[in-house]
Amino acid sequence: MKNKLLCDIGNTNFSFSNGTKVSVENFDITSIHEKIYYISVNAYWEKRLSMEENWINIRSFIDFSKYYESMGIDRIMVCEALANAVVIDAGSAITVDVIKNEKHEGGYIYPGLAAMAKCFKDISPALEVSFNFDIDLDKMPKNTQDALSYGALAPLLSNLREITQDLPVLLTGGDAPRFLPLIPNAKIDNDLVFKGMKKILEKTKEKQC
Amino acid sequence: MKNKLLCDIGNTNFSFSNGTKVSVENFDITSIHEKIYYISVNAYWEKRLSMEENWINIRSFIDFSKYYESMGIDRIMVCEALANAVVIDAGSAITVDVIKNEKHEGGYIYPGLAAMAKCFKDISPALEVSFNFDIDLDKMPKNTQDALSYGALAPLLSNLREITQDLPVLLTGGDAPRFLPLIPNAKIDNDLVFKGMKKILEKTKEKQC
C-alpha cells in the first residue's frame, strides 16, 4: 500500500502522491512505466490513459450511489477521506461539502477568489480591485475595495457559520491559506484527495481478499 | 414639488419619474425643453448635460461627507430616501446598504444573478446552468444545478440574516422579484432613487428659504 503511486489529474496539472507536479501540456506518457492509480477530471487524459495498461483508473472502484451525478471525482475522493467534516476546496471554484457519519450530505459551489474578482471586473471596470483580506468583517464596509472584499468573503463565511455546527472544518486547494485566518478552528489538509484514493484502494483490496 | 420631472441616468437607460424610459443610444436631447433634475452614473451623459441649462444635476446638492468616495450616486439617492433599512439593489451587481438613523452605516457589493451565472460558466462549461429558485435552501444540494443555485443565493441570504437584525428590508432593481420570496418580510420599492432625489430637493429648498 505504502508504495503505490497515486496521481490526481486536473485541467492544468498531473499531481503525483510523491510530490511531483507536471503540467498537462508537458506531460510525457512514455516517461512512466510503473503502475499508477489515478483519478482525472480531465476528459482528454482520462480517455488517453484508458489505453495504457499501467494506468489504473480509480473511477471503477467507486460506489457512485453515495454521490450525486456529475459530482467531480476529486470532490468524491475528498469525501471518501473523511467521516465527519465540512470540506472547503478553495480553487478556481470553491466547493463546500458536508460529510456526516461517512455519508455525503450534499454540497455547494461558490466562485473561487480569482473568478469572483473577474466577475466584479466584468460587471464594471470600476469594480476592478484586489481584495483586502485584512478587512474587519464585523463592520459594514465604507469604501469600494472593502465593499467588494466583504461581498466576496462575508456571505460565504456567514453561510459556513450556519452549516458547520460542531463539524471540523478542513481547507484544501490553492486559496486555502487565504481562508485559514477567516474560519475559526479550520485546518488545512492538502492530501485529502490522495487520502481518499488510498482509502478506496484499501476497501477494494479488502473486498478482493 | 409635485410637478418636478426627475431623471435617473444609468449606463443603459434614461429613467424619468413620469415612467418614461429611453435607452441612452436613442435619447434625443432636443426632445425635452422643460426643467429636469437628474442624477447620472453615466459619465458621458453627465458631462454632455452639464452644458444644458434645463438639466439640473442633483450631485451638487449632496453632502458627500456622509458617504464613501466612489459610491455610486444612485446608491446614495436610495440611502437618502430612508431612515432605517437594509436596502438590496439587485441589478447587474447586488448592492447591500445599511442605513440607521438616517446614517449610511456602510454597504457591500455582491455579483448580480446574471453575473454570477456567467462567473460559474467562465470557471468551467460544466458549471453552466440556469439557477433553480425553488430550491430548498435548508438542505445541502445534491445535484450540480442546485449546488450552483445554493452557492449563488444561500451565502448572501445567510449574511443578510446576520446583518438585518430588526431593520426593514427593501428590495429594488430588476432581480428584486427573484429575491422577494427568499427574504422574510422584505418589500419591493422601485421608487427609492426618485424618493431620495425628491428628499434632497426638498432639503435644498428649505435651506434656500
CB A62 within 8 A of CB A79: no
CB B194 within 8 A of CB B8: yes
Instruction: Confirm whether pTM is higher than 0.90.
Output: no
CB A17 within 8 A of CB A7: yes
**Ranges in chain A annotated CATH 3.30.420.40:** 5-61, 84-189
Residue A11's pLDDT is 82
Question: Could you report the per-residue pLDDT of B138-161, keeping only the tens digit for each?
Answer: 999 999 999 999 999 999 999 999
Cα torsion A23, A28, A34, A36: sign? positive
Residue B137's pLDDT is 97
Question: Could you report the per-residue pLDDT of B7-63, keeping only the tens digit for each?
Answer: 999 888 999 999 999 999 999 999 999 999 999 999 999 999 999 999 999 999 998
Residue B2's pLDDT band, with cuts at 50, 70 and 90, is low
Comparing CB atoms, the residue among B71, B127, B163 nearest residue A93 is: B127
B83-190, which class in CATH?
alpha beta
**Ranges in chain B annotated CATH 3.30.420.40:** 5-61, 83-190
Q: CB contact, 8 Å: B162 with chain A?
A: yes
Residue B162's pLDDT is 96
What average pLDDT does this structure show over A24-28? 93
Does the annotation mark A134 as catalytic? no
Buried b (16+ CB within 10 A) or exposed e, B187-200: ebbeebbbbbbbeb
Question: Could you report the per-residue pLDDT of A138-187, keeping only the tens digit for each?
Answer: 999 999 999 999 999 999 999 999 999 899 999 998 999 999 999 999 99
A84-189, which class in CATH?
alpha beta
Comparing CB atoms, the residue among B98, B111, B159 nearest residue A123 is: B111
Residue B209's pLDDT band, with cuts at 50, 70 and 90, is low
In this model, does residue B192 exceed pLDDT 90?
yes
Pick the catalytic residue from A8, A74, A146, A175: A74
* C-alpha dihedral, B133 to B138 to B141 to B146, nearest 10°: 10
Residue B33's pLDDT is 93
Residue A71's pLDDT is 84
Mean pLDDT computed over every residue of chain B = 93
Phi, psi angle pair for B86, to nearest 5°:
-105, 125
Buried b (16+ CB within 10 A) or exposed e, A21-30: ebeeeeeeee
Residue A2's pLDDT band, with cuts at 50, 70 and 90, is low
How high is the ipTM of this complex? 0.87
Task: Provide the pairing of β-strand B169-172 with B85-90.
Answer: parallel
Residue A94's pLDDT is 96
In this model, does residue A1 exceed pLDDT 60?
no
Q: CB contact, 8 Å: A155 with chain B?
A: yes
Query: Per DSSP, which regions of A53-123 are E strands?
Result: 55-57, 85-90, 93-100, 103-111
What average pLDDT does this structure show over B167-182? 96
Which CATH number applies to B5-61?
A: 3.30.420.40
What average pLDDT does this structure show over B161-178? 95
Residue B126's pLDDT is 87
Residue A54's pLDDT is 96
Grid cell for residue B178 = 427573484
Q: CB contact, 8 Å: B148 with chain A?
A: yes
How far is the C-alpha of A205 from the C-alpha of B178, rounded, in Å?
Answer: 51
Q: Which among B71, B89, B142, B165 is the top mutation candidate for probing chain A, defined by the most A β-carbons within 10 Å of its own β-carbon?
A: B142
How far is the C-alpha of A178 from the C-alpha of A56, rounded, in Å?
Answer: 34
In this model, does residue A69 exceed pLDDT 80?
no
How far is the C-alpha of A154 from the C-alpha of A142, rounded, in Å?
Answer: 15
Residue B194's pLDDT band, with cuts at 50, 70 and 90, is very high
